[in-house]
Amino acid sequence: MRGLTTKKMKVTIDNIPVEVEDGTTILQAARKIGGKVVPPAMCYYSKLKGSGGKCRTCLVKVSQGSAKDPRPMPKLVASCSTPVQDGMVVQNLTSPEVVEARKGIVEFLLLNHPLDCPVCDQAGECDLQDLSFGYGMEETATEDDRREFPMTDIGENIKLHMNRCILCYRCVYAADQLTDKRLHGVLYRGDVSEIGTFIRNAVTNEFSGNMIDVCPVGALTDKTFRFKSRVWFLKPMNAHRECARCAGKTVAWMFGNEIYRVTGRKDQFGEVEEFICNECRFEKKDAGDWVIEGPRHISRQSVISANHYEEMTEPSVIDPIAGKMEKDE
């Protein structure tokens, strides 16, 4: 309706102010600022309805609830599911309490996660690897045995390595929301919970491959790529093709002229921009199937950026006010 404006909320996160729409969560407000202010998210995925609230990696401190009620919130809150209030003051990295809590969360996430990064296909693009690098301890404080499961094939193209699963539920939401019929889920409860298909079903939906892209660890891997290469030896190229099922916009991971694997394109928060179909992902491995657009931008902090050359873009800009160099991410 003309003249109707949505109320803006002023929030401050790690001393940086930002204005967002009413109903925005703290995490989304932080993403609007970008950079180190953004709390890590292992279970929340903006494209999957209902996701979030499971892993607690996104905990932040609310040191002022709102302009009307400036009292701090009594406990750390999950930023992915807490909406902002006008005048709210939030601390992420500026709070030693948050950093300590996050170390504890990482320890919990690693409680059953094997240290098999040297042989895991997700290494180099694993959210848990990054999180452990930032907050992990050198030694474990527990002596208990890790949970162990046999490796299973869930369908023709996906391998489930349950030992690595952190039960974030992202793949369950992806299957629920992208495919006609979800064939897998979290079976059992408590410390015996596991991702599985009821009576060892095969997951065969046309969009099931997206479960691999949303998995933050190496629990779901692409069987057509397993053990073929390390991601940092490949060149991620933006590629597209005419596809009747999806937008056909992908990343072709190439070695020379060969395509080793095809994935969705991920944004700076590690989320797929547009979900792709199984045909594009698993069946189109010939360079002739694709229009190769050019190298993808890879953050220079990523191991994948080694020996990765991109076309020259705009040079770094000098911010005339702050007088500081805006660094390329």
User: What is the contact surface with ligand FES in residues (CB under 6 A)?
Assistant: 41-44, 52-58, 78, 80
The stretch among 76-84, 215-223, 252-260, 273-281 that binds ligand SF4 (CB under 6 A) is 215-223
Q: Name the amino acid, one letter, at 174.
A: A
User: Pairing relation of β-strands 291-295 and 235-240?
Assistant: antiparallel
Task: Select from ligand SF4, ligand FES, none the partner in contact with residue 18, using the beta carbon and a kind-dependent cut-off of 5 to 8 Å.
Answer: none
CB of 299 to ligand FES, least distance (A): 20
Task: Select from ligand FES, ligand SF4, none the partner in contact with residue 166, using the beta carbon and a kind-dependent cut-off of 5 to 8 Å.
Answer: ligand SF4
Length of the chain: 329
CB of 253 to ligand SF4, least distance (A): 20
60 contacts: CB under 8 Å, gap ≥ 6: 13, 26, 39, 76, 77, 79, 90, 91, 92, 95, 98
CB of 242 to ligand SF4, least distance (A): 30
Distance from CA of residue 288 to its chain's centroid? 30
Give the DSSP letter string of 259-325: EEEEEPPB-TTS-BSS---HIIIII--SGGGSEEEEEPP--TTSGGGTT------SPP-B-TTT--B
Contact 170, 45 (CB under 8 A): yes
Task: Select from ligand FES, ligand SF4, none the partner in contact with residue 220, using the beta carbon and a kind-dependent cut-off of 5 to 8 Å.
Answer: ligand SF4
The C-alpha atoms of residue 227 and residue 222 are separated, in whole angstroms, by: 10
Closest CA to 215 of 264, 150, 256, 147: 264
User: Pairing relation of β-strands 77-78 and 291-295?
Assistant: unpaired
CB of 15 to ligand FES, least distance (A): 22
Q: What's the sign of the alpha-carbon dihedral 310, 312, 313, 318? A: positive
Task: Select from ligand SF4, ligand FES, none the partner in contact with residue 218, using the beta carbon and a kind-dependent cut-off of 5 to 8 Å.
Answer: none
The residue within the footprint of ligand SF4, chosen from 84, 98, 165, 246 (CB under 6 A), is: 165
CB of 275 to ligand FES, least distance (A): 20
The binding track of 186-205 with respect to ligand SF4, each residue x by CB under 6 A or -, is: ---------x----------
Contact 107, 140 (CB under 8 A): yes
Task: Select from ligand SF4, ligand FES, none the partner in contact with residue 219, using the beta carbon and a kind-dependent cut-off of 5 to 8 Å.
Answer: ligand SF4
Task: Select from ligand SF4, ligand FES, none the partner in contact with residue 53, using the beta carbon and a kind-dependent cut-off of 5 to 8 Å.
Answer: ligand FES
Cβ nearer to ligand FES, comparing 267 with 328 = 267
Q: Name the amino acid, one letter, at 173.
A: Y
Cβ nearer to ligand FES, comparing 28 with 250 = 28
Q: Which residues of 130-161 are buried (b: 16+ CB within 10 A; e: fewer)?
A: bbbeebbeeeeeeeeeebeeeeeebbebbbbb
The answer to whether residue 168 forms part of the interface with ligand SF4 (CB under 6 A) is yes
The residue within the footprint of ligand SF4, chosen from 13, 166, 239, 272 (CB under 6 A), is: 166
CB of 310 to ligand FES, least distance (A): 30
CB of 284 to ligand SF4, least distance (A): 24
Where on the chain is the footprint of ligand SF4 (CB under 6 A)? 165-171, 195, 214-217, 219-220
